[in-house]
A and B are shown apart, each in its own frame.
Chain A
Amino acid sequence: MRDAAQIVLLLVVLSDLAILGTSRLSSCIRGLAAQGFLLGLLPVLIAPQLSVHAVSLALGTVIVKAVALPWFLAWAIREAAVRREIEPIVGFIASQLLGAVAVALAFAIASRLPLPGTPQPLLVPVSLATLIIGFIVLTTRRKALVQVAGYLILENGIYLFGLTQTESVPFLIELGVLLDIFVGVFIMGIVVFHINREFDSLDSTRLTELSD
């Protein structure tokens, strides 16, 4: 189980890097869905024994992060008829290199953090790496929809960090967080949809101009 969790965590890092390298909105969303599914596997894999708590958390995560949110983002792309390219501010090669640096940084920081024993030694560095990569996506992409994706990656990082404490966080709080994210992304999707209808573009740099 420990090895399986380690491999899943590595795949999470790889999905981060894949999202950084992709040039298409749809593959970005597929990457997010894959990451959500991997995150859903983790509570079961790192739990010392199979509990209702872990299984229901896993199910909730898979339903929200791997099915509902990607489906909703795909719907937003289709309905808003946005162009399928991502149009980054920082190029794909540079952002992948930034991502690799972020992973190195995350491992360096995590080895210096005074943390109590965690169920999986890779959990903290991978969560930090995912956080930083989420920030990179948030800041270096122009499309509002990709920024929503960046926000989701950021949240995935926070979720991973939360997994170090699964035993002590009540189940209701976790479900509440999942619900919050769902509603948040829902609202963002609707806002994005309206931005697109009003301005014929999702380019967030153009939101600084005033127009009537």
Chain B
Amino acid sequence: MTPDGLLALGLLGMAAPAVPGIAVKTKSLLTGRRGPPVFQLYADLAKLVRKGRVYSRTTTLVFRAGPVVALASLILAALFLPLDGREAPARFAGDMVAFAGLLALGRFALVLAAMDTGSSFEGLGASREVTIASFAEPTLFLCFMALVLAAGDLSLSGILGTPLAAAWPHAGASLSLVGVSLFVLLLAENSRVPVDDPATHLELTMIHEVIVLDHGGPDLALILYGSALKLTLFGVLVVSVLVPRAGFSGPAALALLFAGLGAVAVAVGVVESVMARVRLVRVPQLLVGAAALALVATILQLR
């Protein structure tokens, strides 16, 4: 574990709330509105942290633990990502499974907390969230499979660093497919537009917003920060696959990463302003399409 890696992780954690801010700003500008400031989420978080906690008497410890477990698992997952393009704070063979597992654990904690409230409405949201996740996870593993085959290493640090940069010249087509597939996953996992609308508060249509409806104050702050961090982590994955940064020095690689994250956020905003949300029954099809892309990428590697 290097101090540099932890410093990079700290910087990423500080920058995370700006990523959804950039996406919302892009969407607002493209649809002819002024939109909230890019750093709005920081103000929201500061406001929420100062509020008191209110818990319903029907909820148990599970409800209180949900946001904490969710955020902690995301921070742990972030430890496996090589932010400077070379070495992550933690690595071992097969750590991508741990990465996916930690993301799943975070979601599991939130879903349990939602069901703990006993509200049928939140149960509905929980079931939708898990349905989408069950289609997204195989796709994530297919992407990882293609990446492992391209780089010949079993840890995220080993893949997203130098080996991927070396693999680009002869496996560029396959890797760009993985990039596209990961971007669709990013939209689905973070409940962005073609799958879910983060701006809606219409009961029948929202997915992720439903399960956090009963959280307030500092708990909601944890959840909001967690979803910004999750978006950032997927952004890091997309940027690392599309732009391997092994050839740069530490600070330059980090600057490139943040520029890439900004570009991903803008791309999310553009997608949100040109696409309508697809019907719920069509969401699995979108994700199966992404899985098909990842499968084609894997086949190209196996050839």
Q: Which residues from chain A sit less than 8 Å from chain B, CB to CB?
A: 3, 6-7, 10, 13-14, 17-18, 21, 23, 92-93, 96-97, 99-100, 103-104, 107, 111, 121, 125
Contact between chains at A17 and B173 (CB < 8 Å): no
B285 to chain A, nearest CB (A): 5
Q: Which residues from chain B sit less than 8 Å from chain A, CB to CB?
A: 172-173, 177, 282, 284-285, 288-289, 291-293, 295-296, 299-300, 302-303
Contact between chains at B299 and A99 (CB < 8 Å): no
Q: Which chain A residues border B177 with CB–CB below 8 Å?
A: 10
What are 12 residue pairs bridging A and B, where the CB atoms are less than 8 Å apart in the complex? A6-B173, A14-B293, A17-B296, A21-B285, A23-B282, A93-B288, A96-B285, A96-B288, A99-B292, A103-B292, A104-B295, A104-B299
Q: Which chain B residues border A6 with CB–CB below 8 Å?
A: 173
A23 to chain B, nearest CB (A): 8
Closest A-B pairs by Cβ, 3 of them:
A100-B292, A100-B295, A93-B288
Contact between chains at A100 and B173 (CB < 8 Å): no
Known: A3-B172, A100-B295, A104-B295. A17 touches B303 (CB 8 A): no
Residue of A nearest to B169 (CB): A3
Residue of A nearest to B303 (CB): A107
- Among A13, A18, A97, A100, chain B packs the most CB atoms within 10 A around the CB of A100
Residue of A nearest to B289 (CB): A21
Known: A103-B299, A107-B302, A111-B303. A97 touches B173 (CB 8 A): no
Known: A3-B172, A7-B173. A97 touches B299 (CB 8 A): no
Q: Which chain B residues border A10 with CB–CB below 8 Å?
A: 173, 177, 296, 300
A83 to B47, alpha carbons, bound, how many Å? 53
Q: Which chain B residues border A125 with CB–CB below 8 Å?
A: 303
Residue of A nearest to B292 (CB): A100
Instruction: Identify whether the interface residues of A are mostly helix, strand, loop, or mixed.
Output: helix
Q: Which of B173, B289, B300 contacts A96 (CB 8 A)?
A: B289
Residue of A nearest to B180 (CB): A14
Contact between chains at A97 and B292 (CB < 8 Å): yes
A82 to B303, alpha carbons, bound, how many Å? 43
Other than the given A6-B173, A103-B299, 13 more pairs (CB < 8 A) read: A10-B173, A17-B292, A21-B285, A92-B285, A96-B285, A96-B289, A97-B288, A100-B291, A103-B295, A103-B296, A107-B300, A107-B303, A111-B303
Q: Which chain B residues border A100 with CB–CB below 8 Å?
A: 291-292, 295-296
A184 to chain B, nearest CB (A): 30
Q: Which chain B residues border A3 with CB–CB below 8 Å?
A: 172
Residue of A nearest to B174 (CB): A10
Residue of B nearest to A103 (CB): B296
Q: Which chain A residues border B291 with CB–CB below 8 Å?
A: 100
Contact between chains at B284 and A93 (CB < 8 Å): yes
- Among A10, A103, A111, chain B packs the most CB atoms within 10 A around the CB of A10
Known: A3-B172, A7-B173, A10-B177. A107 touches B289 (CB 8 A): no
A3 to B303, alpha carbons, bound, how many Å? 16
A125 to B289, alpha carbons, bound, how many Å? 20
Residue of A nearest to B291 (CB): A100
A178 to chain B, nearest CB (A): 28
A6 to B296, alpha carbons, bound, how many Å? 13
Q: Which chain B residues border A107 with CB–CB below 8 Å?
A: 299-300, 302-303
A23 to B285, alpha carbons, bound, how many Å? 11
Residue of A nearest to B296 (CB): A103
B117 to chain A, nearest CB (A): 32
A18 to B293, alpha carbons, bound, how many Å? 10
